[in-house]
Amino acid sequence: MIWKEIEIPTSARVQLKDVTALVVNELQKSKVNNGICYVYVPHTTAGVTINENADPDVVTDLINNLERLVPVKGNYRHAEGNSDAHLKASIVCFSQAIPVIDGRLALGTWQGIYFCEFDGPRRRKLLIGF
C-alpha cells in the first residue's frame, strides 16, 4: 500500500474544502490502475465526506444543518469548548473508501471529496492510500 500525507490548511472554524483534485493528483502519481483509494483524517475534530460538488449550496446546507443538529453551545461536559466539533466529526466520519477503476476514482458525476473542518482554523493532515 502507498500512503501520502497532504497538509490541509483551513481558514474558518467550520469549513468544507473540496480535496478531490488533490486526491486525483495523488492517484495519478501512484499509477494505481485498479483497487481502492482510502482517504483518512487523523483528527478528532475533522472528517472527510463525499457529496455533491457542483452546487455550493449543498456545502452551505451541510454546514448549516450540522450546526442545527449539534450547536456550538450545548449541554456538553468536555472542558475544551469544542465538543460540537467532536460530535460533528463523528457524524461525518473520519475516512472514505473509493473504488479505483481503470486509473480513475469511481465517483459519481456530481460527487466530490470534502475535508471537513469543525474546530479551525488549523493546519490539518489528510492521508491518502492506494
Q: What is the CATH number of domain 3-129?
A: 2.60.120.460
User: Whose grid coordinates read 448549516?
Assistant: 64
pLDDT digits (tens, 9 = 90+) for 32-59: 999 999 999 999 999 999 999 999 999 9
Q: Quote the CA–CA distance of 87 and 110 in Å, as a whole number.
A: 27
Q: pTM here? A: 0.96
Q: For the chain, give every domain's residue range.
A: 3-129
